[in-house]
């Protein structure tokens, strides 16, 4: 899934534009801040490298929520949810 930044700082304390290639993770800890994750859309093979900048407390374990900038590199926002690895 994807989310917008709304000009607020994420769990790591940084404010990023929607175009930033960042992620919020379900199982977030402070030590995750700044880690890079490569995500591949399993349907198309498109990939994007994102930096962990936020937590996603409402997400199920293992779920990654992407900024719109990152999500758009993998597929259409109309899909709402993409399967990745």
Distance (Å, rounded) from C-alpha 65 to C-alpha 22?
9
Q: Is residue 32 part of a domain?
A: yes
Per-residue pLDDT of 8-39, as tens digits, reads: 899 999 999 999 999 999 988 899 999 999 99
> Is 15:79 a contact under the CB 8 Å cutoff?
no
Instruction: Tell whether pTM > 0.85.
Output: yes
Distance (Å, rounded) from C-alpha 27 to C-alpha 7?
23
Distance (Å, rounded) from C-alpha 82 to C-alpha 13?
27
Q: Is residue 36 part of a domain?
A: yes
Q: Is residue 84 part of a domain?
A: no
pLDDT above 90: percentage of residues in the chain? 62
Domain of residue 47, residue span: 2-77
Q: Is residue 83 part of a domain?
A: no
Q: How many domains does the chain have?
A: 1
Q: Is residue 82 part of a domain?
A: no
For the record, the structure tokens of 53 come out as 């900048």
């Amino acid at each position: 899934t994807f989310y917008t930044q709304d000009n607020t700082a994420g769990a790591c304390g940084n404010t990023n534009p929607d175009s930033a290639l960042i992620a919020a993770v379900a199982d977030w800890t402070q030590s995750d801040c700044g880690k890079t994750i490569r995500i591949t859309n399993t349907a198309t093979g498109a990939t994007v490298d994102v930096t962990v900048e936020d937590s996603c407390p409402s997400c199920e374990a293992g779920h990654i929520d992407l900024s719109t900038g990152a999500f758009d590199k993998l597929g259409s926002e109309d899909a709402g949810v993409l399967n990745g690895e």
